[in-house]
Structure 1
Amino acid sequence: MKRFMICSILSLLTYTSCTAKNKKHSELITHKEKTHEIHTTKTDPNTRHIQVALLLDTSNSMDGLIDQAKAQLWEIVNELSYAKCEHNRIKLQIALYEYGNDGLPSREGFVRQVLPFSEDLDEISKELFALTTNGGNEYCGKVINTSINQLDWKKNNDHLKLIFIAGNEPFTQGPVNYTDAATDALEKDITINTIFCGNYRQGIDTMWKHGADITHGEYSAIDHNQQTVHIVTPYDDIILQLNNQLNDTYIYYGNRGAQKRELQREQDSNARGYSAANAVSRTISKSSTFYNNKSWDLIDASEDESFEVEEVAKEELPAALREKSKAELKQYIAEKSKKRKNIQQKIRDLNEKRVGYIKNHSKKEDTNLEAALLNAIKKQGQKKAFTWEK
Structure 2
Amino acid sequence: MKTQFKTLILAVSLASLTACNANSKNRTQDLAISEIVIKTTSKDKNPEIKVALLLDTSNSMDGLIDQAKAQLWKIVNELSYAKCEEQSPNLKIALYEYGNDNLNADEGYLRQVIAFSDDLDEISKSLFSLTTNGGNEYCGKVINTALNQLEWGDNKEDLKLIFIAGNEPYTQGNVSYKDASKLAHQNDVTVNTIFCGDYNQGISTKWKEGADLTHGNYMAINHNEATVHVASPYDDKILELNEKLNTTYVAYGSTGRAKMEMQAEQDSNARSYNKANAVSRTVSKSSRLYKNSSWDLVDAEKEDGFSYDEIKDSELPKELQGKSKSEIKTYVEAKAKTRKKLQDEIATLNLNRRDFIAKQTKDSSNGLESAMIKALKSQAEQKNYKWE
- TM-score of the aligned structures, taking structure 2 as reference length: 0.89
Pair 1:63-2:62 in alignment? yes
Preserved CA contact (<8 Å) 2:83 2:385: yes
Instruction: Give the equivalent residue in structure 2 for 1:326.
Output: 325
SS in 1 for 2:51: strand
Deviations 1:335-364 (A, max 9, x none): 100000000000000000000000000045
Give runs of ≥4 in structure 1 deviating > 6 Å. Answer: none
Residues in 1 aligned to 2:123 and 2:139: alpha-carbon distance in whole angstroms: 22
The offset of 1:295, in angstroms, is 0.4
Instruction: Give the equivalent residue in structure 1 for 2:42.
Output: none
SS in 2 for 1:183: helix
Q: Which amino acid aligns with 1:231?
A: V
Give the alignment of 1:340-379 within 5 angstroms.
340-379=339-378
Instruction: Give the equivalent residue in structure 2 for 1:42.
Output: 11
Pair 1:111-2:80 in alignment? no
Residues in 2 aligned to 1:281 and 1:79: alpha-carbon distance in whole angstroms: 10
Residues in 1 aligned to 2:379 and 2:315: alpha-carbon distance in whole angstroms: 44
Structure in which a larger fraction of residues adopt helix: 1
Instruction: Give the equivalent residue in structure 2 for 1:196.
Output: 195
The offset of 1:41, in angstroms, is 4.4
SS in 2 for 1:274: coil
The offset of 1:287, in angstroms, is 0.6
Residues in 2 aligned to 1:319 and 1:364: alpha-carbon distance in whole angstroms: 49
Instruction: Give the equivalent residue in structure 2 for 1:285.
Output: 284
Q: Which amino acid aligns with 2:151?
A: D
Instruction: Give the equivalent residue in structure 1 for 2:381.
Output: 382
Instruction: Give the equivalent residue in structure 1 for 2:101.
Output: 102
Residues in 1 aligned to 2:308 and 2:289: alpha-carbon distance in whole angstroms: 23
Instruction: Give the equivalent residue in structure 2 for 1:135.
Output: 134
Instruction: Give the equivalent residue in structure 1 for 2:80.
Output: 81
SS in 2 for 1:73: helix
| Length, aligned pairs only | 350
Residues in 1 aligned to 2:202 and 2:131: alpha-carbon distance in whole angstroms: 24
SS in 1 for 2:272: helix
Deviations 1:80-126 (A, max 9, x none): 00010012341100000000000000000001000000000000000
Deviations 1:301-359 (A, max 9, x none): 00113211232111000111102111111000111000000000000000000000000
Preserved CA contact (<8 Å) 2:56 2:137: yes
* Distance of aligned partners of 1:41 and 1:189 in 2 relative to their CA distance in 1, 3 Å threshold: closer
Q: Which amino acid aligns with 1:163?
A: I
Q: Which amino acid aligns with 1:306?
A: G
Q: Which amino acid aligns with 1:102?
A: D
SS in 1 for 2:350: helix
The offset of 1:276, in angstroms, is 0.7
Give the alignment of 1:230-249 within 5 angstroms.
230-249=229-248
Deviations 1:156-179 (A, max 9, x none): 111000000000000000010001
Residues in 2 aligned to 1:321 and 1:331: alpha-carbon distance in whole angstroms: 11
What is the Cα-based RMSD across aligned positions, in Å?
1.0
Pair 1:295-2:264 in alignment? no
Structure with bigger gyration radius: 1
Residues in 2 aligned to 1:383 and 1:56: alpha-carbon distance in whole angstroms: 26
SS in 1 for 2:48: strand
Instruction: Give the equivalent residue in structure 1 for 2:272.
Output: 273
The offset of 1:192, in angstroms, is 0.2
Preserved CA contact (<8 Å) 2:10 2:153: no
The offset of 1:212, in angstroms, is 0.1
Q: Which amino acid aligns with 1:178?
A: Y
Identity percentage of aligned residues: 59
Instruction: Give the equivalent residue in structure 2 for 1:34.
Output: none
Q: Which amino acid aligns with 2:197?
A: G
Residues in 2 aligned to 1:355 and 1:41: alpha-carbon distance in whole angstroms: 35
Instruction: Give the equivalent residue in structure 1 for 2:24.
Output: none
* Distance of aligned partners of 1:41 and 1:51 in 2 relative to their CA distance in 1, 3 Å threshold: closer
- TM-score of the aligned structures, taking structure 1 as reference length: 0.88
Residues in 2 aligned to 1:142 and 1:80: alpha-carbon distance in whole angstroms: 28
Residues in 2 aligned to 1:92 and 1:363: alpha-carbon distance in whole angstroms: 27
Q: Which moved more, 1:319-328 or 1:101-110?
A: 319-328
